Amino acid sequence: MTEKPSEPIYVTQPSMPPQEEFNEYLKKIWNTKVLTNHGPFHQQFEKELADYLGVRYLSVFVNGTMALITALQALRITGEVITTPFSFVATTHALWWNNIKPVFVDIEPDHFTLDPAKIEASITPNTTAIVPVHVYGNPCNVEAIQKIADTYGLKVIYDAAHTFGVKVNGNSVLNFGDLSILSFHATKVFNTFEGGAIVCHDEKTRRRIYFLRNFGFADEVTVIGPGINAKMNEVQSAFGLVQLKYIDEYIIKQRTITEIYRAGLAGVEGIRYITDIEGVDHTYSYFPIFINAEQYGRSRDEVYNLLKESNIFGRRYFYPLISQFPTYRSLPSAKTELLPVATKAASQVICLPIYPDLKLEYVYFIIEILKKGRK
Ligand code: T4K
């Protein structure tokens, strides 16, 4: 068995391209002194990124949260919005910042995404949209969700923060719904330190997003609405351009790690992991495991601490559920008995370390701990 790592191994670590390559871009920025406000790298990045992802219209943002807040503004979403409690808290916070009431609906047990079968019961005359999350990079049941949205006249905005590069039957998952948002935070497979994007499907919406992202300015003297400042700057955009050259390499390394975890943990009673969905090209950004305490002989938190004692710092994404936080827990839809699948998932999950530079010997070490830890 490999020895305990001498340094802490975290759930993730950002991937960085060669610094010399980035320096070339920095020199240009130093020369031109164009730092922000839709500069040349910003424009080039939007174009190259859209091409890479296979989408038509993409607007980059300062981070994923601002992208989501602006996406809701762009479609003038108001009233109530149906969403999942099993996500990073930013998903619901974006609704709150728009004065929208979140309505939590439970998830399905196989891939932990919003359960379409439970959506209709939560629709009221005030419902205007659905904000599902492709959690851990697993695409939602986009067809079933769209059918409900079409029937009730609702918009669909996907939180695709975990789904960079994911395809369904060869088509980017970002092409579903009215809008999708991405995150390029340091902890994501594709990072620009901080960053994000909105993907839309027509030029009119792209223009509206463009205005809203820059204070609402349509031209030097025209302000079309209460826009915000959420533009990505030139340094981040340049970094993104360099990252794009390496992203395929990062994804391949994450797939290798996923395969090792899956093979190593197969048959360990009490530990469940998610497998690939047919027809989906995954990008393997997260490796969540779910501990069944009765079968494994230890609770999830005991396993979490066992790993910690060995210098392995997994994360309990997404525990507690968003619906349990003080801002949201008094909402009628936040009741635990209405969210049994999400409640169980939150109580069982640990996301194991996964990132391109993770040494494979540590992946084997983690598997050993989990195998030996069973009582
Ligand atoms: N929607 C969803 C579904 C999301 O998951 C997120 C973000 C958003 C929306 C919002 O997108 P952004 O506005 O963030 O673009 C992290 C991230 O801060 C957050 O971006 C992410 N989701 C969430 C799932 O995870 P924390 O609090 O767990 O991050 P932190 O700082 O504890 O980092 C985790 C580990 O990563 C650290 O233990 C060490 C390593 N790390 C982290 C950073 C920041 C590094 O090695 N270097 C670094 O610079 O939230």
On the 0-12 / 13-18 / 19+ scale of CB atoms within 10 A, 47 is exposed
Question: Which pLDDT score, from 0 to 100, does residue 1 have?
Answer: 63
CA 102 to ligand 1 centroid distance, Å: 22
Q: How far apart are CA 133 and CA 84, in angstroms?
A: 7
Integer Cα distance of 132 and 83 in angstroms: 5
pTM here is: 0.98
Q: How many Å apart are CA 59 and CA 167, to the nearest integer?
A: 19
- What's the pLDDT at 4? 87
- Quote the pLDDT of residue 75: 98
pLDDT at 375: 85
For residue 147, what are its two tokens? 């059918």
Whether ligand 1 lies within 6 angstroms of the CB of 12 is answered as: yes
Q: Is the CB of 183 within 6 Å of ligand 1?
A: yes
Question: What pLDDT shows up at residue 299?
Answer: 97
Q: Low-confidence residues of the chain, pLDDT below 70? A: 1
Q: How crowded is residue 351: how many other Cβ atoms within 10 Å of its Cβ?
A: 18
CB of 10 shorter than 6 A to ligand 1: yes
Is the CB of 131 within 6 Å of ligand 1? no
Q: Is 133 in the pocket of ligand 1 (CB under 6 A)?
A: yes
Residues contacting residue 301 through CB under 8 Å, at least 6 positions apart: none
Q: State which ligand 1 atom lies nearest to the alpha carbon of 68.
A: 9
pLDDT of residue 256: 98
